[in-house]
Structure 1
Amino acid sequence: MKENETMNGQAVTESQIAQWADEAVAGYDVAALKKRGRPRIGAEIAQVAAIRLDPDLNAALSRRAEQDHSTRSEVVRQALQAWLKSA
């Protein structure tokens, strides 16, 4: 193991690795494992909409997402919803 190895910002120890190995040998309850994939944002599967942003707008979007402790996608969704409601 590399020195100072982390997972989700937490230090990974040799004892943690041994515990994970023991769990793997014992077997996993597949139904209990965390479901993979992106969470739904509505009742239906979301569609991807690619957009191009100039560097200044892109940087402003990143700053706003960080300021709001949110994601860039969520900031765009909120802005678009607000704009569509006002139109």
Structure 2
Amino acid sequence: MDDGETINGKPVTEEQIAAWVAEAEAGYDVEALKKRVRGRPGRGSEPSQVVALRLTVDEIAILDEHARLANKSRSEVIREALCF
């Protein structure tokens, strides 16, 4: 393509477009597409919500050190702290 279209920084060529068209015309395996999982894995059967939390630089340092020593993520340490 001469208008500079890119995907992940790589130019999209006419050959690539032709290959995508051929793939689409051949059809897709719907079950295989449904099995693709994107994003973070769920934590349960219910959808979870993102909650913003404001911490000072010192609080974050303490949290990160605790997480490092426990070999856990920040989120895991925060969730454990909430389960009192």
TM-score by length of 1: 0.53
Q: Deviations over 1:14-55 (max 9, x none)?
A: xxxxxxxxxxxxx9x882875221111121111011010011
In the TM superposition, what are the counterparts of 1:1-87 in structure 2 within 5 Å?
31=32, 35-82=37-84
Listed as ranges, the gaps of 5+ residues in structure 1 are: 1-26, 83-87
**In structure 1, the residue corresponding to 2:62 is in which secondary structure?**
helix
User: Which structure would you say has the larger Rg?
Assistant: 2
CA-atom RMSD, angstroms?
2.2
Aligned length: 55
**Off by >3 Å, runs of 4+ in structure 1:** none
TM-score by length of 2: 0.55
CA distance in 2: counterparts of 1:75 and 1:34, whole angstroms:
29
CA distance in 2: counterparts of 1:41 and 1:65, whole angstroms:
19
